[in-house]
Chains A and B, each alone.
Chain A
Amino acid sequence: MTNDLDFEGWTCPLPLRDTPTIVMGHGGGGAMSGELIEQLFLPAFGGAARAELGDSAVLTVPHGRLAFSTDSFVVKPMFFPGGSIGDLAVNGTVNDLAMSGATPLYLSTAFILAEGTPMSDIGRVATAIGKAAEVAGVQLVTGDTKVVDSGSGDGIYVNTAGIGVIADGVEIGPHRARAGDAVLVSGDIGVHGVAVMSCREGLEFGTTIESDSAPLHGLVAEMLATGIDVRVLRDPTRGGVSATLNEIARASGVGIELVERDLPIPPGVRDACGLLGLDPLQVANEGKLLAIVPADRAEEMLEAMRRHPNGARARRIGACVEDHPRMVVARTGLGGTRVIDLPIGEQLPRIC
């Protein structure tokens, strides 16, 4: 070997490195994987990334109990009005942590990329992740990338896991609702689900509705600062308000009574659901929370929530009751009642 030749950093000169799309080599753990991280992910993540690139991140955590959560994101389409799979991947896990009263600190990001996915799409998603992490004040501390054959996956799947810390004295859990408590929601419901549906293949319809994807731990901090006993916090994502309240009713052994007239359902959501035959209560939200608090402090709590931008349209929508334990019932606008059931699976548009 002569000293004139520099082999450091040398790779096969086949023109793989400038591919406009993902190829299998990007998941092989070699130079191409490294380039993807260094030239695409890290710059896109920006200030939120902690680029130690070891096998694991070494973290310092403040005193307190840890909250730990993971979530995978496979939303289709990846880009929708008001956000992308990248925003959801950060806010989803941040919110899962926030719902136990934790301050989110660190996230991992793992990507499963389908061969053939345009680099530009990955760049857009990674940039969204970086921005969302920055807004949420969390660090992206470790990650992974795998590539699957075209046909085995679809575009970009993202998994994030997160760690947060819970301050002493905070005790929030789905089993803590009691008869007499008030049920609050932080704002308009059904917005995210309708935004995504409006651009799903074969169903495109015009709407001005944009996803409500947002981190909620700031709002939760305001709520905890009131000193009011927040019994239950949940973000009603998949399955919507309906699934979440059913889970709370079952975990706590209480009945929940909703007042349909008080539900904040924006006209665009109501119209889209009317057209498609869907129930707004079953449509996903990505930037809203449901809170259960003692009824005598509910107004005070609502005032605190409304002071935060993510809770500006907070409302009381119902109460926990002794009747019909483990069941959610709504008083309809006309004065009748109906059971709000746990959705079975996917919502299916009705034929007519």
Chain B
Amino acid sequence: MKYLDEFSDPDLAARLVDEIHAVTTRPWAMMEVCGGQTHSIIRHGIDQLLPEGVEMIHGPGCPVCVTPLETIDKALAIAEQPGVIFCSFGDMLRVPGSSKDLFSIKSAGGDVRVVYSPLDALKLARDNPDRQVVFFGIGFETTAPANAMTVYQAKRQGITNFSLLVSHVLVPPAIAAIMESPRCRVQAFLAAGHVCSVMGTSEYPPLAERYGVPIVVTGFEPLDILEGIRRTLLQLESGRHELENAYPRAVTDQGNLAAMEMLRDVFEVTDRTWRGIGMIPGSGWKLSERYADFDAERRFSVTDIHTAESALCRSGEVLQGLIKPHECAAFGKECTPRKPLGATMVSSEGACAAYYTYRRLDLLTTTSS
């Protein structure tokens, strides 16, 4: 497929790696924001190719990982109600709530379905007028436009048995929160390419300026990531801190105007709790008053569910780049992809799961030597 092969070319990758080594004179710590980038870095072993001292800190950009336990518990409470068809993207099914996950609701007879687009859930609602169909609308600015479009269509078509359980999160406030953290070690960011393809890049120059950090919009294939790292290192080494777009084939400065217009109509900014991190002001979207009728939390009266996070799990520190996954005492012991304590171990995009799946060998070697 175009863009998969070209952007994985080993010879070009080797040239980029050489350039990265040539420009690097000292240790640096940069954060890739998006979970898709974390996955790609670990999957291809990209961090092993970097100069010693150049550290990739895995950011809080996996939507599955940062969805708060409380929201998962609300999802579970809705999904087990009779007459409900609960629809979700696949990897949310395994995320543990306080006592169970959506898979266990399904095996107990709940109607939980994996869909590949929220519009499929809307179709289910149209086809099952006597059932309540709920879609679990999570994710960053990337998945939000499709969810917004679905609610917009539901309203337009008068489909009243559809609702959305919303837990959208936003990247720029998270970057600000990370930089404001007193223990912050991040010196630069690879910004999430697909978020920027929706929102454009205008939110980032003020962040680069305020915190004095280079921010490079980066794609997801191996060459994209290496190029993002190379440009970030060039800025760091020369003392610059600007916004750069290293993913121009998908990202324009102004973003997707139609999508942004729809987002403004359907959603409004709200404070949002991030799993393992805590509440970040203005870091989420909820349905705007115009679409409040489609809010599953109100429809199913689950607004009273409040849940605390696991005390053993240090995913919050992992998500902020304060520790590496294996530095958590529970990593690989009480907490594995099969029995995850925190969400970073659940999704294959989560930093802990990526370490567990692809990096156990190094960890074993390090421990035994």
Count of chain B residues with Cβ under 8 Å from any Cβ of A?
50
Interface string of A307-348 (1 = CB under 8 A from B): 000000000000000001001010011111111010011001
A64 to B286, CA, bound (A): 70
Query: What is the CA–CA distance of A350 and B44 in the complex, to the nearest angstrom?
Result: 17
- With A and B bound together, what is the CA distance between A333 and B143 in angstroms? 30
Q: Decide: B357 and A333 in contact? CB cutoff 8 A.
A: no
**B203 CB-CB contact with A under 8 Å:** no
Contact A352 B13 (CB under 8 A): no
A contacts with B, residue count (CB < 8 A): 27
Q: Please, which residue of chain B has its CB at the minimum distance from the CB of A327?
A: B361
Please determine whether A336 and B91 come into contact, CB atoms closer than 8 angstroms: no
| Cross-chain contact B1 with A339 (CB below 8 angstroms) | no
Note all chain B residues with C-beta closer than 8 A to A261: 10
Bound together, the chains give a CA A341 to CA B138 distance in angstroms of 28
Given A333-B8, A335-B45: A348 and B91 interface contact (C-beta under 8 Å): yes
Check A277 for interface membership: any CB of B closer than 8 A.
yes
Contact B93 A348 (CB under 8 A): yes
**B115 partner residues in chain A, CB cutoff 8 A:** 202
Give bound CA distance, A333 to B359, whole Å. Answer: 16
Is A351 an interface position by the 8 A CB rule?
Answer: yes
Question: Are B338 and A344 in touch, CB under 8 angstroms?
Answer: yes
A267 touches B1 (CB 8 A): yes
Q: Does A274 contact B (CB under 8 A)?
A: yes
CA distance A92 to B184 in the complex (A): 55
A96 to chain B, nearest CB (A): 27
B114 at the interface (CB under 8 A from A): yes
Which residues of chain B are near A270, meaning CB under 8 Å?
1, 4
Please tell me if the beta carbons of B91 and A339 are within 8 angstroms of each other in the complex.
no
- Assess whether B10 is in contact with A352, with CB atoms less than 8 Å apart: no
Query: B43 contacts which chain A residues (CB < 8 A)?
Result: 332, 338
Given A333-B8, A334-B45, are A202 and B120 also a contact pair (CB < 8 Å)? yes
The yes or no answer to B14 lying at the interface (CB within 8 A) is yes
Bitwise, B94-128 to A at CB < 8 A (1) or not (0) is 10000000000000000000111000100000000
B139 CB within 8 Å of chain A: yes
Question: How far is A339 from B353 in the complex, measured between Cα atoms in Å?
Answer: 12
Q: Identify which of A336, A337, A339 contacts B357 (C-beta below 8 A).
A: A339
Partner of B49, one of A329, A336, A348: A336
Could you tell me which B residues sit within 8 Å of A by CB distance?
1, 4-5, 8, 10, 13-14, 17, 36, 39, 42-49, 63-64, 89-94, 114-116, 120, 138-140, 142-143, 194, 222, 337-338, 347-349, 356-362, 364
A residues apposed to B, CB below 8 Å: 202-203, 261, 267, 270-271, 274, 277, 324, 327, 329, 332-339, 341, 344-345, 348-352
